Amino acid sequence: MNRFSLLVIFALSLLGCERPVAVVEPLTLLLQTPTLAIYSQEQLVAEEVFNLGLQFETEVEGVNGRLVSETMAMGIVPIYFKSSDQRAFNAQSIVGACALEKMVWRLELTWVEQGKTKLIELPLTITR
């Protein structure tokens, strides 16, 4: 192999070392209650990271979440939320794919608001 061929092969191999660029889609309102708004991407796709956003009317604490598989036996995926002001929370999650084209996962959220534990559940449809 000549020197030029080696340089071309080396240069092409470096292209594979670049980090993939994450495309962040705008968030869509999934659910609005008097005290809570839940946001995510309009289309959720299995095996792709998606964002979840929560906006509370008042300050809350102890926000926990999880995704529970409904239409297949794929278990439970915990969700860890971060916040800077006790009203707005965000997290990223991902779920696996199965043989079904559309899968339903139940989003379960719990939090403490004015000393009382609150719970909300929301079905999410995720495509393969």
In the chain, where the domains are located: 26-127
pTM for the complete prediction?
Answer: 0.76
pLDDT, residue 4, reads: 55
> In angstroms, rounded to a whole number, what is the distance separating the alpha carbons of residues 100 and 89?
31
Residue with tokens 């102890």: 62
Express each pLDDT in 8-59 by its tens digit. Answer: 454 444 444 444 444 456 789 999 999 999 999 888 998 899 999 999 999 9
DSSP state, residue 124: E
pLDDT at 114 over 70: yes
Homologous superfamily in CATH for domain 26-127: Macroglobulin (MG2) domain (2.60.40.1930)
If pLDDT is split at 50, 70 and 90, which confidence band does 108 have?
Answer: very high
